[in-house]
Structures are given as C-alpha cells and as structure tokens.
C-alpha cells in the first residue's frame, strides 16, 4: 500500500505558514500592523498581545495608528513598544499612539535581506526534515512488508515531488519579501 502523503503535506503547509508569519514581523520600511505581532503588554499581570488590546491600522504607507480599546492602557502599550525589538519610538497624544516607520537605508536593507534569506533556509530545512520523516516511514513500511518495492519507489517519488513543491513555495515567499525590502 502506497504511503499517504496528506499528513506530511499538512506539516509542510504549516511550516510555510509559520515562515510567512515570521516574515510579517520584519519591518520593511512600510506600515504593517504585523510588526507588532510579537509585542506583549503586561495587562493586569498577564502578557497580552497589543492586537488584543487595541485597533492597529496603517494610516498611510509610513504610519501605524494604535487606538487602545481601554484608554487607561495607553501608557502600558507605549511602554511595551519601547521595550520591544520593534525599534520605533511611539508618539502618544493621550488617545492614540502613532508609529512613524522610518525609511530604510541601503545597509539596513541588505541586513534585512540576509535575515529573510536565512529564515528562508530555515524554512527549507524544516520542509526537508518533514521529507526525511516521510522517507523513514516509507522505509519502515517496506521493511515491515506493508508495501512492495514499486510502491516504495512511487511513495518516495511522491514525497520528493511534494518537497520540491514546498521548497519552491519557500523560494517564492522569500523572493517576494526580498523584493519588498529592496524596493525604495
């Protein structure tokens, strides 16, 4: 019986999805609410994501506006942004917080490009690890006599095709993000 690749495809999709979410947090010189995805506010003793405490929207290409649902939490949100790795100083007017996204210089663009490419390689490694697990399962089934040699070859080919498909997907996502970073 040939190996069912559904579970491995699901794992590969999750790897791509996690990679894409990770890329969303990289500041590319444009206002993107995703850059605050990892910022947590100490709200009544519990770490709470900013997105659950406030509306975050892009006012224009270079400005994010944060409107807290609870006006008393404004200072806590501002402090959380300052202490985070976002690298942008928030400006507060007492009701809203504005984040002005600075223009990236050439050196910073190259650093971000390298970071994106490194993350892309890590995503490819994750996909290849899933391939290895699938191949191990194929070999185990062959050894146990659950599949013939022909079924083993077909299963290995299916797993390899699936891997190639998702490696191309990682490349496509990486290329898109690099293009976004490098465009002035």
pLDDT confidence bin for 6, thresholds 50/70/90:
confident
Q: Which class for 184: exposed (0-12), middle (13-18), buried (19 or more C-beta within 10 A)?
A: exposed
State the pTM of this model.
0.72
Q: Which residue has the higher pLDDT, 79 or 104?
A: 79
Which one of 28-32, 42-46, 51-55 scores highest in mean pLDDT?
Answer: 51-55
Q: Which class for 154: exposed (0-12), middle (13-18), buried (19 or more C-beta within 10 A)?
A: middle
CA distance readout (Å), 66 to 37, 42, 47, 115: 13, 17, 18, 27
pLDDT tens, residue by residue, 47-103:
888 888 899 888 888 888 999 998 888 889 888 888 887 778 888 888 899 988 888
Q: What is the mean pLDDT of the chain?
A: 88
Query: Would you give the DSSP letter of residue 93?
Result: -
Which one of 22-31, 74-83, 125-134 scores highest in mean pLDDT?
Answer: 125-134
Helix (H, G, I), strand (E, B) or coil at 51: helix
Task: State yes or no: pLDDT of 167 exceeds 90.
Answer: yes
Helix (H, G, I), strand (E, B) or coil at 55: strand
Please compute the mean of the pLDDT values over residues 33-42 and round it to a whole number: 84
What domains are defined for the chain?
6-23+105-182 (1.10.132.20), 30-100 (3.30.1360.40)
As a whole number of angstroms, the distance between CA 11 and CA 166 comes to 11
As a whole number of angstroms, the distance between CA 98 and CA 63 comes to 7
% of the chain beyond a pLDDT of 90: 36
């Amino acid at each position: 019986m040939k190996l069912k690749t559904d579970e491995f495809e699901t794992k590969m999709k999750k790897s791509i999805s996690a990679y894409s979410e990770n890329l969303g947090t990289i500041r590319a010189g444009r206002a993107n609410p995703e850059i605050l995805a990892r910022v947590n506010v100490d709200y009544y003793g519990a770490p709470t994501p900013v997105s659950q405490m406030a509306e975050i929207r892009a006012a224009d290409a270079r400005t994010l506006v944060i409107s807290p649902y609870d006006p008393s939490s404004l200072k806590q949100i501002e402090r959380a942004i300052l202490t985070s790795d976002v690298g942008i100083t928030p400006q507060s007017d007492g009701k809203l917080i504005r984040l002005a996204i600075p223009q990236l210089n050439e050196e910073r663009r190259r650093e971000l490009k390298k970071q994106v490419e490194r993350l892309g390689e890590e995503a490819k490694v994750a996909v290849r690890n899933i391939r290895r697990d699938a191949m191990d399962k194929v070999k185990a089934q062959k050894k146990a006599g659950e599949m013939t040699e022909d079924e083993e070859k077909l299963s290995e080919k299916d797993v390899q095709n699936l891997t190639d498909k998702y490696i191309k997907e990682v490349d496509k996502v990486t290329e898109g993000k690099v293009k976004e970073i490098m465009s002035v």
